[in-house]
Amino acid sequence: MRQLLLATCLLLCVAPAAPARDPPPTTTRDAVARLRIVAVDGGFEAWADNLLPGPVEVRLDVASGARPQAEPALPARASVPAGSSVLLTRLRPPPAREGRMQLRLNGVPGSSNAKPRDITYLLPLRLDAARIDQGFDGRFSHDSDENRYALDIAAPVGTPVLAARSGIVLQVETGFREHGTDAARDAARANYIRILHDDGSMALYGHLAPAGAQVVPGQRVEAGERIGSSGNTGYSTAPHLHFVVQVNRGGRLVSIAFRMQGVPLAHASGMR
């Protein structure tokens, strides 16, 4: 399952006769941060607003058009604490004759300072036993850094999904209804819940049922607490729960190996 990261774009049209104004904030679906441009004397300030109840890391750069004078220079990177804003750079737009400039803010949940502990996770489904349809390094869809150490646990649609570990709910997506096997079309259409743990790691519970979340961002959940219902949304061949533990490493989500109660490591590896 591929996770969408934020890509927020803002277009600045440079016209000498126009008065300086604050362009409106812009966000996209699955946004973790918002790019906010504030007009100041002689130029603009570029701010990143964190939209999540946990840390995010952002990178601001020019998406198209002339490169502006900026202090610090672009690309500009920053860590933004939960519910906070950070000034990324002060910039002067290029001269009007050089046309328009488009900025892009990329954001990734979590902090690069995460120090994951060796934890045994609970089985995140209310099942008597786990059947692993795809394990670590699975050839079907677990071949990226983001999902290499993921488990696909078979479960009928509507099976209660439980928090495998205590934490704070960071993100919830429940609006998708379909599934398919076209990776380009379907990979970004899975419902999911992301939970931040106290060591900075994050668990992703994917392919949930439509409206299949019982938690909201900012809510604290305890291990074993019901958080939603399993489904079959996104890039999926059959109903299951996609479970992966990730950390932010330099602005990239990277999956890490973990142990799960009732799932022998031999069963977690080498499937499909």
Residue 139, exposed/middle/buried by CB under 10 A (0-12, 13-18, 19+)? exposed
Task: Report pLDDT digits (tens) over 124-166.
Answer: 999 988 888 777 866 776 777 788 898 999 999 999 999 999 9
Strand partners, 104: 9, 61
Task: Report pLDDT digits (tens) over 228-265.
Answer: 999 999 778 789 999 999 999 999 999 999 999 988 76
Q: Is the peptide bond before 53 cis (omega within 30 degrees of 0)?
A: no
DSSP 33-88: EEEEEEEETTEEEEEEEE-SSS-EEEEEEEEEEPPPEEESPSSEEEEE-TT-EEEE
Q: Coil, strand or helix: which one is 89?
A: strand
- Whole-structure pTM value: 0.85
Q: What is the mean pLDDT of residues 161-174?
A: 97
Q: What is the mean pLDDT of residues 17-42?
A: 63
Q: What does the alpha-carbon distance between residue 60 and residue 216 come to, in Å, rounded to a whole number?
A: 28
Return the CATH architecture of domain 6-109.
Sandwich (2.60)
Task: Report pLDDT digits (tens) over 50-83.
Answer: 999 999 999 999 999 888 899 999 999 999 999 9
Q: What does the alpha-carbon distance between residue 169 and residue 53 come to, in Å, rounded to a whole number?
A: 8
**Is the confidence at residue 219, as pLDDT, over 80?**
yes
**Residue 5: band (very low, low, confident or very high) from pLDDT cuts 50, 70, 90:** very low
**Is the confidence at residue 25, as pLDDT, over 60?**
no
Task: Report pLDDT digits (tens) over 94-123.
Answer: 776 666 789 999 999 999 999 999 999 999
The correct answer on CATH 3.40.50.300 for the domain covering 120-268 is: no
**Is the confidence at residue 8, as pLDDT, over 90?**
no
- Check residue 158 and report its DSSP letter: T
pLDDT of residue 268: 57
- The full set of domain ranges for the chain reads 6-109, 120-268
Would you say the CATH fold of 120-268 matches that of 6-109? no
pLDDT of residue 265: 63
